[in-house]
Amino acid sequence: MATKKSAAQPPVDVPAFLSAVEHHKYLARVKASLSKTWNLSRPGTLSAAAQLGWYLVALGRDSDARELAEHVAVAAPADATGPAALEASGAIALAARLARLRGDEARRASLVARLFESITLAGAPRGAGAALAEAEKDVRSAEVDPSQKHACQGFAQGCARAATVREAGAVGLDVDAVERIISQGLDGLRAQLGR
């Protein structure tokens, strides 16, 4: 006897921003895909949300990026471990960066505390030098990737890694070098998203 399949449940807690009308063709596809698969306990969702946040920053849409990153920072499971915690740190670092850039030190401090929790729950954190080398590698690889999708993901991942190190405030950090990586990643995103 055949069993009846139940309809798939729609994602829960999807930020309203994802269902808003989007005029940028590439971002419209990214937002539609993310809204269909939204689940903050899955590393893929957390990674895609952080990447979308960086795409928005590259396009000068900081308020949209802040809305998305803050949503992840608040709603991502606080007890996530491993890859989920690591991917959440990318969005939390973006939210902390945006708070710092707008001068909201109280909110930034709260987000940095959450960032440290997320990094700790991800497992043994790599040193700042290793993370920055990976960020640099992400950006350099994205510069030569012929695929718009993969190039955008690489640039955003490089920005997220560098921002995580910057916002965590590693001792002896060369802030100019970190900001240079982020700037190069954002320039690459602007070029890719302008295609």
pLDDT in tens, 126-141: 678 888 999 999 999 9
Q: What residue spans define the domains of the chain?
A: 23-121, 131-193
pLDDT(30) > 60? yes
Which of 27-31, 57-61, 111-115 is predicted with the least confidence, judged by mean pLDDT? 111-115
User: Quick one: pLDDT at residue 43?
Assistant: 92
DSSP designation for 79: T
User: Quick one: pLDDT at residue 138?
Assistant: 97
- Per residue in 75-108, pLDDT (tens digit) is 988 777 778 888 889 999 999 999 999 999 999 9
- Per residue in 70-81, pLDDT (tens digit) is 999 999 887 777
Q: What confidence tier does 23 reach under pLDDT thresholds 50, 70, 90? A: very high
CA 153 to mean position of chain CA atoms: 10
Query: Above pLDDT 70, what percent of the chain?
Result: 90
pLDDT(124) > 50? no
pLDDT(144) > 60? yes
pLDDT(154) > 90? yes
Could you list the beta-strand ranges (E) of 52-92.
Answer: none
pLDDT(1) > 60? no
